[in-house]
Chains A and B, each alone.
Chain A
Amino acid sequence: MNFLYAFLFAGAACSIAQIILDNTKLTPGHITSIYTVIGAVLSFLGVYDDIIVKFGGGATALISNFGHMLYSSAYQGYMAEGILGIFTNMFTKSSAAIAGAIIFAFLVSLVAKPKD
């Protein structure tokens, strides 16, 4: 049942994005940025944690989870260390995504042939 919820949530989020993409002049870059900001706002409202409990991987696989990770780790940093904590903890949760993307992209592009 969890799998079905994950499927439906991720699918719904993607089809809403597709509707926006097809009916406005926004580019995919705009939409991913908007989704990230939406994720941060939902996290700010305290909704995103409930969404993750309900939809599991369907919610964490989306780019909006990136905004949620940034906000929640920055806020936890503030609670632990004050103002400095916002800056020192901003990337703690999303580190896996950013470092992973950079490292795999670099390794893969060293091996792969450049496109024409």
Chain B
Amino acid sequence: MTKDDYKKLVKKHTPREPKLRNIVVAFFAGGFIGFFAEFLIYMLQESFGMSKVIAGSWTCLIIIAISSILTAFGFFDNWVNKCKCGLIIPTTGFAHSVTGSALDYKKDGLITGLGSNIFKLAGSVILYGVISAFILVVIRVVING
């Protein structure tokens, strides 16, 4: 059996992901988080008289706190497996990856484990966000003269 034949055989027997169902689940999970964020912003504005920006920052913090706590209790891993991008793309995914790697590497000690691995997954988001923001600001400055 050649390598290509083997690859075909593997491909034939790998369980196929239910793509359409994944998309629908991601749509509703992500949509729910967007709805929840908008609802929180609205509630904070109405009940505490906050400005929209401050209400947005509080909402961001609340969502991060909720997803960190749920990750620690172990619910979030199952939900991420089911909803996939519906929970990965919102800010919940960021908080989940930070808390998840903190928990996973805690057993290696507070410094060499938790401390050095806490940004294992979220690091790329911060790195490429900062680099792209920096380059784009430089481009904008050059364009504007």
| Residue in B34, B71, B121 whose CB lies within 8 Å of A108 | B71
B126 partner residues in chain A, CB cutoff 8 A: 98
**Of residues 45 to 84 in A, which have CB atoms within 8 Å of B's CB atoms?**
55-63, 65-67, 70-71, 74-75, 78
| Most B-side CB within 10 Å, residue of A9, A33, A58, A109 | A109
From DSSP, what is the main secondary structure of chain A's interface residues?
helix
Are the CB atoms of B34 and A9 closer together than 8 Å? yes
Interface size on B, residues (CB 8 A): 71
Minimum CB–CB distance from A8 to chain B (whole Å) comes to 7
Are the CB atoms of A15 and B57 closer together than 8 Å? no
Instruction: Map CB proximity to A onto B112-145 as digits: 1 under 8 Å, 0 otherwise.
Output: 0010001001101110111011101101110000
Q: A57-B40, A63-B90 in contact; A108/B133 too (CB < 8 A)? A: no
From DSSP, what is the main secondary structure of chain B's interface residues?
helix
Minimum CB–CB distance from A16 to chain B (whole Å) comes to 8
Interface size on A, residues (CB 8 A): 65
Are the CB atoms of A70 and B130 closer together than 8 Å? yes
The chain A residue with its CB closest to the CB of B39 is A3
Minimum CB–CB distance from B77 to chain A (whole Å) comes to 9
Instruction: Map CB proximity to B onto A79-114 as digits: 1 under 8 Å, 0 otherwise.
Output: 000000010001000001110111011101101101
**Of residues 59 to 107 in B, which have CB atoms within 8 Å of A's CB atoms?**
59-61, 63-65, 68-69, 71-74, 84-86, 88-91, 93-95, 98-99, 102-104, 106-107
Are the CB atoms of A63 and B89 closer together than 8 Å? yes
Q: A36-B132, A90-B134, A104-B69 in contact; A10/B33 too (CB < 8 A)? A: yes
Are the CB atoms of B118 and A114 closer together than 8 Å? no
B98 partner residues in chain A, CB cutoff 8 A: 101-102, 105
Q: A3-B38, A33-B124 in contact; A15/B129 too (CB < 8 A)? A: no
Are the CB atoms of B125 and A32 closer together than 8 Å? yes
Q: A7-B35, A55-B34 in contact; A32/B93 too (CB < 8 A)? A: yes
| Residue in A58, A62, A102 whose CB lies within 8 Å of B118 | A102
Are the CB atoms of A104 and B128 closer together than 8 Å? no
Give the distance in Å from the alpha carbon of A2 to the alpha carbon of B37 in the complex: 11
Q: A14-B85, A62-B89, A71-B132 are in contact. List 17 more A-B contacts (CB 8 A).
A: A6-B34, A6-B37, A17-B85, A28-B84, A33-B124, A56-B38, A57-B36, A58-B31, A74-B133, A96-B57, A97-B64, A104-B65, A104-B69, A108-B69, A108-B102, A109-B102, A115-B104
